[in-house]
A and B are shown apart, each in its own frame.
Chain A
Amino acid sequence: MAVNDSAARAHGLPEPAGPGPASAMSEVPSFQQIYERYFDFAWASARRLGVGDAAMDDVVQEVFIVIHAKIHTLQKPESLRSWIYGIVRRTVSDHHRARRTREASGVGLAAHHELEHLLPKTPLDLTEQGEDVRLLYAVLSELDLPKREVFILAELEEMTVPEVAEALEIPLNTAYSRLRAARQAFETALGRRTLREREGERWKS
């Protein structure tokens, strides 16, 4: 693997890490190590943020081009996963925005809030997944995006709440209260679905 530096420059990004003070920090892993350790995380995060199959390669490649270009700006190596999630989030947001601009020919998009660019327009393709996974994402789809995002990072990715706060660039107390609300919303949505299923079974019998 040799990230094309001209590709990074073409995106208006800073030069990749050179032998400066940040790259000399032994805690900062190499780009190769980051790719090995965080590829699955970056890929799954992009999928959960609604990137379709056809665009996955381009979006994930773009994520790693940005990582390569910006790794020397990483202030806290211990926050690497949060930092990477922030890059995935911004890249996916740009991707959705560009797609919607193409689809709508630029009409009426100015009013869209930043978060709306992250909402998947179509449900995730989960045809290859098991029943439990389909149920999980059906329940998650009933949560609004801020709660869904916090829930996924804390529960599925098992991030600590401080990591979640950093990844989403929100205050720590907000992350705690949002996770509490997200867990309640998840339980409520799951309970509703379970009840509906039981009622459906009763009607059948």
Chain B
Amino acid sequence: MEELGPDARALVRSGRGSLNPSAADRERIARAL
């Protein structure tokens, strides 16, 4: 299958994990469960 070009690949790499929660988010939800 056709892969992404270098510019697109670099952009995708920059976005991995970008919307991950903070430790505080993780603990707050854990407390609520």
Inter-chain contact B25/A43, CB cutoff 8 Å: yes
The answer, among A43, A57, A132, A139, for a CB contact under 8 Å with B20, is A43
The answer, among B5, B10, B21, for a CB contact under 8 Å with A44, is B21
Inter-chain contact B1/A187, CB cutoff 8 Å: no
For residue B19, give the distance in angstroms from its CB to the closest CB of chain A: 4
A4 to B11, CA, bound (A): 41
Given contacts A187-B8, A190-B8, contact A3 B15 (CB under 8 A): no
A156 to B11, CA, bound (A): 10
- Name the residue in A65, A135, A156, A194 with the highest tally of chain B Cβ atoms < 10 Å from its Cβ: A156
A64 within 8 A of B: yes
A47 to B18, CA, bound (A): 11
Inter-chain contact B1/A180, CB cutoff 8 Å: yes
Interface residues of B in 1-33 (CB under 8 A from A): 1-5, 7-8, 10-12, 14-21, 25-26, 28-33
Q: Which residue of B lies closest to A177 (CB)?
A: B1
Inter-chain contact A136/B20, CB cutoff 8 Å: no
B-contact bits for A74-110, CB 8 A (1 contact / 0 none): 0000000000000000000000000000000000000
Q: Residues of A contacting B18 with CB < 8 Å?
A: 44, 129, 133, 136
The answer, among A43, A68, A176, A186, for a CB contact under 8 Å with B8, is A186
The answer, among A40, A133, A190, for a CB contact under 8 Å with B15, is A133
A180 to B1, CA, bound (A): 7
Inter-chain contact A61/B29, CB cutoff 8 Å: yes
Inter-chain contact B19/A3, CB cutoff 8 Å: no
17 contacts between A and B (CB under 8 A): A2-B33, A35-B33, A39-B26, A40-B20, A40-B21, A43-B25, A57-B29, A61-B32, A64-B29, A124-B19, A129-B18, A136-B11, A136-B15, A136-B18, A183-B2, A183-B8, A187-B4
